[in-house]
């Protein structure tokens, strides 16, 4: 369990003043010996774009040996490296990996820039199709089938996202069947929607996007998808559904060019 420096846990040893001062200066501080291999730990921190400081504690002086003894007495941790995150002792490299994953999936985690910008870029064909179909002197009936075909491809892609999430979770059991089943049903629904014509195909496509989104919400509330992904999905799905409904209305003659 993580230990905070502002209040010494009962299980920890005495709190050295130098340790409190040191971990207060950087968000992540890694204590290790001169021979400790921390390459994988540094790779994790770099991938998380998190600044950190490394304190290599040699045994060449009495003062350094005393500091190392004070560190281990406080943390009660038998191995190196020892990692402090936000002034809290969290453990070693495996515990840091868990903490970074939790931070990336937490409610306050920002949407990664690549996912945000590429997700928005994926909306362009939907918006272009809706605009072309309903603009004065529009490009004709070709935009309806083209937009629906793209929508079917994206719905199948969302099924692939479900498959990837399932691979990263439990490999067996009823829950795994649900996860993998959902990943396959999405492209199957897209395929059937592409085969159908008119309102039936459009309705199935819209329903597919809504159902996959609701499935994502359920997984997110169960802690199996990061919060930032859900925030991104809400906005993207809303635009996609509105565009598909508008294209359907235009194709059926309900919405006429302005």
- What are the structural domains, with CATH classification, of the chain? 3-104 (3.40.30.10), 109-251 (no CATH)
**Which of 83, 81, 86 has its CA nearest to residue 106?**
86
What is the number of alpha carbons within 13 Å of residue 98 lying toward its C-beta? Answer: 8
Banded model confidence at residue 2, pLDDT cuts 50, 70, 90: very low
**Which of 168, 158, 125 has its CA nearest to residue 143?**
125
Banded model confidence at residue 11, pLDDT cuts 50, 70, 90: very low
Q: Taking residues 175-200, what's their average pLDDT?
A: 86
Query: Which tens digit of pLDDT belongs to each residue from 95-154?
Result: 888 887 766 655 666 788 888 999 999 999 999 988 887 766 555 567 788 889 999 999
pLDDT at 17 (0 to 100): 84
Structure tokens at 215: 């499935």
Strand arrangement of the beta sheet that strand 53-56 belongs to: 3-4, 88-91, 82-85, 28-32, 53-56
Write down the pTM of the prediction: 0.61
CA gap 238, 177 in Å, rounded: 28
Per the listing, tokens 């009962």 go with 10
CA gap 29, 47 in Å, rounded: 16
The SS3 call for residue 11 is coil
Structure tokens at 95: 């515990």
CA gap 209, 166 in Å, rounded: 19
Specify the pairing of strand 28-32 against strand 53-56: parallel
Per the listing, tokens 């943390």 go with 75
Helix (H) / strand (E) element for 122: namely none
How large a percentage of the chain has pLDDT more than 70? 82
The helix/strand count (H/E) of the chain reads as 10, 5
Of 23-27, 78-82, 136-140, the one with minimum mean pLDDT is 136-140
What is the number of alpha carbons within 13 Å of residue 245 lying toward its C-beta? Answer: 11
What φ, ψ does residue 62 adopt, rounded to 5°? Answer: -65, -40
């Amino acid at each position: 369990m993580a230990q905070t420096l502002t209040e010494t846990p009962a299980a920890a040893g005495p709190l050295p003043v130098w340790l409190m001062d040191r971990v207060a200066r950087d968000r992540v501080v890694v204590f290790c010996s001169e021979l400790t291999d921390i390459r994988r730990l540094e790779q994790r921190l770099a991938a998380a774009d998190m600044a950190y400081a490394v304190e290599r504690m040699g045994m060449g002086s009495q003062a350094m040996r005393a500091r190392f003894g004070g560190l281990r007495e406080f943390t009660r941790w038998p191995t190196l490296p020892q990692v402090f995150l936000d002034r809290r002792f969290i453990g070693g490299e495996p515990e840091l990996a868990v903490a970074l994953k939790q931070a990336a999936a937490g409610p306050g985690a920002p949407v990664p820039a690549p996912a945000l910008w590429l997700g928005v870029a994926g909306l362009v064909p939907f918006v272009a199709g809706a605009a072309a179909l309903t603009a004065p002197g529009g490009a004709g009936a070709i935009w309806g089938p083209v937009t629906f075909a793209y929508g079917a491809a994206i719905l199948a892609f969302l099924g692939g996202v479900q498959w990837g999430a399932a691979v990263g979770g439990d490999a067996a059991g009823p829950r795994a069947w649900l996860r993998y089943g959902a990943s396959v049903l999405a492209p199957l629904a897209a395929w059937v929607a592409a085969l159908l014509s008119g309102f039936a195909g459009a309705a199935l496509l819209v329903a597919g996007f809504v159902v996959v989104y609701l499935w994502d919400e359920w997984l997110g509330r169960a802690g199996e998808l990061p919060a930032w992904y859900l925030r991104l999905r809400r906005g993207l799905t809303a635009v996609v559904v509105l565009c598909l409904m508008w294209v359907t209305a235009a194709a059926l003659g309900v919405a006429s060019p302005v």
